[in-house]
A and B are shown apart, each in its own frame.
Chain A
Amino acid sequence: MVLAALDQALLDGAVWGLAAAMLLPALAALFPGLPGGLRHAVPRVLAAFACLCAAALGAMQLAGSGGAMLAWWPGIPGEPFTLSPDALAAPFLVLFGLVGVVSFAAHASGGSGAGAQVRLSLHAGFALSLLCVFATRHALLFLVAWEGMTLLSAALVASDLRSARARTATYVYLALSHAGAACIAYAIVSLAAQAGSFGFDALTAAYTRLGTAEAARLGWLFTIGFGVKLGLVPMHVWLPMAHPEAPGPVSAMLSGVMVKAGLYGMLRFVWQMPGAPPEHWGTALLVVGIATALTGALYAAVESDAKRLLAYSTIKHGGVLAMAVGLAALLAAAGQREIAGVALVAALYHAVGHGLAKALAFLSVAEATHAAGSRNLEALGGLARRMPATAFAALVSTLTLCALPPFSCFAGEWLIFQALILGYSAGAGQLRLLAPFAGAALALASALAVAALVKLYGIGFLGRPHTEPAARSHEAEPAVARAMLAFALLPVGWGLAAPWLATTLARPLAQLLPGFDAEQLARHSGLAMVPAGLQSSSISPAAAALLLGMFALVARLWLRGARGGMPEVRVGPSWACGTRLDARMQYSALGFTKPLRLIFEPVLHAERELEVLEQGSPYFARKYRYRSGLPAVFEQMLYQPFVQAVLWTSEQARRLQTGSLHLYLAYLLVTLVALLLWAR
Chain B
Amino acid sequence: MMATALIVIVQTLLIVALAPLWNGIVGAIKARLQMRHGLPLTQRYRDLIKLAGKETVLTEDASPLARVAPYLILGAVLAVCTWTPVLTTESGLGFAGDLVMTVALLAAVRVLLALLALECGTTFGGMAASRHLALSALAEPALMLAVFTLAIAARSTDLARISAAVAATPDAWVSPSHLLALTAMWIVVVSETGRVPVDNPVTHLELTMIHEGLVLDVSGHHLALLEWAAAIRQMILLTLVANLFLPWGIAVVATPAALALALAAWLGKLLVFAVVVALTESLTAKMRLFRVPEFLGMAFLLALLALSSDSLLRG
B204-222 interface code vs A (CB 8 A; 1 in, 0 out): 0000000000000100111
The residue of chain A having its C-beta at the shortest distance from the C-beta of B153 within the complex is A425
Give which listed residue, A417, A424, A454, A585, contacts B114 with CB less than 8 A: A454
Binds A, one of B193-201, B249-257, B268-276, B303-311: B303-311
B118 close to A447 (CB less than 8 A): no
A599 close to B114 (CB less than 8 A): no
Give which listed residue, A301, A414, A447, A563, contacts B141 with CB less than 8 A: A447
Query: Is A64's beta carbon under 8 Å from chain B?
Result: no
A565-602 interface code vs B (CB 8 A; 1 in, 0 out): 00111111111100001010111000111111011000
Q: What's the Cα separation between A591 and B134 when bound, in Å?
A: 12
Query: Is B120's beta carbon under 8 Å from chain A?
Result: yes
What class of interface size applies to chain A in its complex with B?
Answer: 35 or more
- Which of A399, A534, A599 has most chain B Cβ within 10 Å? A599
B155 close to A391 (CB less than 8 A): no
A559 close to B95 (CB less than 8 A): no
Give which listed residue, B61, B101, B134, B304, contacts A464 with CB less than 8 A: B61
Cβ–Cβ < 8 Å partners of B72 in chain A: 548, 552
Query: Is A538's beta carbon under 8 Å from chain B?
Result: yes
B121 close to A581 (CB less than 8 A): yes
Give which listed residue, A388, A395, A574, contacts B59 with CB less than 8 A: A574
In chain A, residues 394-429, which have Cβ atoms closer than 8 Å to a Cβ of chain B? Answer: 395, 399, 402-405, 410, 413-414, 417-418, 421-422, 424-425
Query: Is A463's beta carbon under 8 Å from chain B?
Result: yes
Report if A585-B121 is in contact (Cβ < 8 Å); known contacts: A447-B107, A447-B141, A539-B96: yes
Cβ–Cβ < 8 Å partners of B141 in chain A: 440, 443-444, 447
Cβ–Cβ < 8 Å partners of A459 in chain B: 118, 126
Query: Is A69's beta carbon under 8 Å from chain B?
Result: no
Cβ–Cβ < 8 Å partners of B76 in chain A: 548
A551 close to B94 (CB less than 8 A): no
Q: What's the Cα separation between A540 and B92 when bound, in Å?
A: 13
Binds B, one of A95-103, A263-271, A431-439, A501-509: A431-439
B56 close to A570 (CB less than 8 A): yes
B293-315 interface code vs A (CB 8 A; 1 in, 0 out): 10000001001100110010000
Query: Is A385's beta carbon under 8 Å from chain B?
Result: yes
Give which listed residue, B49, B60, B75, B104, contacts A571 with CB less than 8 A: B60
Q: What's the Cα separation between A598 and B137 when bound, in Å?
A: 13
Cβ–Cβ < 8 Å partners of B119 in chain A: 462-463
A462 close to B118 (CB less than 8 A): yes
A421 close to B151 (CB less than 8 A): yes
A570 close to B58 (CB less than 8 A): yes
A458 close to B98 (CB less than 8 A): no
Query: Is B227's beta carbon under 8 Å from chain A?
Result: no
Cβ–Cβ < 8 Å partners of B115 in chain A: 454, 457-458, 462
Q: What's the Cα separation between A528 and B97 when bound, in Å?
A: 9
Query: Is B267's beta carbon under 8 Å from chain A?
Result: no
Cβ–Cβ < 8 Å partners of A558 in chain B: 52
Q: How far is the CB of B150 from chain A (nearest CB, A)?
A: 11
Cβ–Cβ < 8 Å partners of B75 in chain A: 547-552, 555
Report if A421-B104 is in contact (Cβ < 8 Å); known contacts: A436-B304, A436-B311, A559-B52: no
Residues of A within 8 A of B (CB): 301, 381-382, 384-385, 388, 391, 395, 399, 402-405, 410, 413-414, 417-418, 421-422, 424-425, 432-433, 436-437, 439-440, 443-444, 446-448, 450-451, 454, 457-459, 461-464, 524-525, 527-528, 534, 536-540, 543-544, 547-552, 554-556, 558-559, 562-563, 567-576, 581, 583, 585-587, 591-596, 598-599
**4 tightest Cβ-Cβ pairs between the two chains A and B:** A587-B126, A552-B75, A384-B63, A595-B134
**Could you jot down 29 A-B contacts, CB within 8 Å?**
A404-B107, A404-B111, A417-B100, A424-B152, A436-B308, A447-B138, A450-B107, A457-B115, A462-B118, A463-B121, A527-B95, A539-B98, A539-B101, A547-B78, A548-B76, A551-B78, A552-B68, A552-B75, A555-B225, A569-B58, A570-B56, A571-B58, A571-B59, A572-B60, A574-B59, A575-B217, A587-B127, A596-B133, A598-B293
